[in-house]
Amino acid sequence: MLGQQLDRAMALEEWEEYWHKDKIGFHQPTVHKMLENHLDKVLSGRAVVRFFFPLCGKAVDMKWLADLGHSVVGVEISEKAIQQFFEENNMMYSEELVPVIPGGKVFKNSEKNISLYRCDLFDFSSSVGGHFGAIWDRGSLVAINPKDREKYAALMVSLMDRDCRYLLDTFLYNPDVYSGPPFFVPDEQIHSLFGSSCNVEMLQSVDALTERWQACGLDSFTENVHLITPKGS
């Protein structure tokens, strides 16, 4: 199903290298359309929600949500990305070590209630960061190595509060033509990863073929958004 991508493995150092060389084509300067489109469904009437951003980069969505009064926790391996996030958004930040994570640090802006952990996502857990009322997963499940998906899904489920609403953005394309990242995530796999403990609902599917993907040899590229909620919530 995943073709050649099943064996693709990117080291954390490769991501840090992308940041050092400013090869961050994944970064968007504006709030993500899918988050804007589906924010009401994610909030589901709640006024203040604790959001988790796995693999957060310097996504401007974090500032947007914080300006709306929500709190934000992100995890990112690149210290440069985290520093750029605060600096580019004119926010002061403090920095402290996280003793339970070897080499881990947390960067915080208390006024806006944003905390960004510099560590490997797989070293983060609910005992470090607590539980969350929402997860915005853009450029995260699609960026981790395909062999780590079960471990990743178990981590996400362990971070969800009972009323958590998890918005997941993924892509469908021919993985034999382009090797990723972003990696291809078939819809059936979303159900097999989360379906035993969560309800999985497709919210939107759009044709996202652009010149960038055509230049990679692709003739179709679909962006899908799913809402994942704990069963019985």
Ligand X SMILES: C[S@@+](CC[C@H](N)C(=O)[O-])C[C@H]1O[C@@H](n2cnc3c(N)ncnc32)[C@H](O)[C@@H]1O
The residue ranges that bind ligand X (CB under 6 A) are 12, 15, 26-27, 55-57, 59, 75-78, 81, 120-121, 138-140, 143
Question: Distances in Å between the alpha carbon of 38 and those of 4, 33, 61, 138, 157?
Answer: 33, 9, 13, 13, 20
Question: Distances in Å between the alpha carbon of 162 and those of 1, 104, 134, 151, 197?
Answer: 32, 28, 10, 20, 11
Q: Which is nearer to ligand X, 77 or 164 (CB)?
A: 77
Question: Minimal distance in Å, beta carbon 164 to ligand X?
Answer: 18
Q: Which is nearer to ligand X, 20 or 195 (CB)?
A: 20
Q: Which is nearer to ligand X, 101 or 218 (CB)?
A: 101
Q: Which is nearer to ligand X, 151 or 162 (CB)?
A: 151
- d(Cα 168, Cα 85) in Å, to the nearest integer? 22
Question: Minimal distance in Å, beta carbon 91 to ligand X?
Answer: 17
Question: Minimal distance in Å, beta carbon 32 to ligand X?
Answer: 7
**Per the structure block, which two tokens stand in for 7?**
């064996």
Task: Number of helices (H) and strands (E) in the chain: give both, helices first.
Answer: 8, 9
Q: Which is nearer to ligand X, 163 or 218 (CB)?
A: 218
| Amino acid identity, position 39 | L
Question: Minimal distance in Å, beta carbon 75 to ligand X?
Answer: 5
- d(Cα 69, Cα 35) in Å, to the nearest integer? 16
- d(Cα 161, Cα 155) in Å, to the nearest integer? 12
User: How many residues are there in the chain?
Assistant: 233
Question: Minimal distance in Å, beta carbon 124 to ligand X?
Answer: 8
